[in-house]
Amino acid sequence: MLLLHEISLKQGTAFTVFTEAELIEATDNFADKNILGRGGFGTVYRGLFKDDGVVAVKRCVSLMASEQQKKEFGKEMLILSQINHKNIVKLLGCCLEVEVPMLVYEFIAKNCREASCTCA
């Protein structure tokens, strides 16, 4: 709730709160064929929205135990959503309906330097 409140206060922040159903549909129910990579904090899936194109969806595995961790996560999300740099993948939004939030990033094809690339 803190995150949603802070985002609503920011003018011009391009950040979307996705539903779990939207991310399930975009990733074909988190199908193995859509896995882009795995790491210590979760698995990243290729997602395809009907009108918004290709995204990368990070499905985190670690549980946030305390309220303090949740507040810190919210603050970090707010900061990341405002960063716009050519060498940093843009955070587009998240899904907060689930126990552990899922993050949605722009999709950058391997070995591609153009953010608007369609070679995916």
Known binding residues for ATP: 58
Q: Dihedral of the CA atoms 101, 107, 112, 117 (nearest 10)?
A: -160
Per residue, what are the HEC states of 34-54?
A: HEEEEECCEEEEEEEECCCEE
Partnered with residue 95 across adjacent β-strands are: 18, 102
Tokens of 116: 């608007």
Q: Which residues are annotated as a binding site?
A: 58
CA separation for the pair 71, 59 (Å, rounded): 19
Do 67 and 20 form a contact (C-beta atoms < 8 A)?
A: no
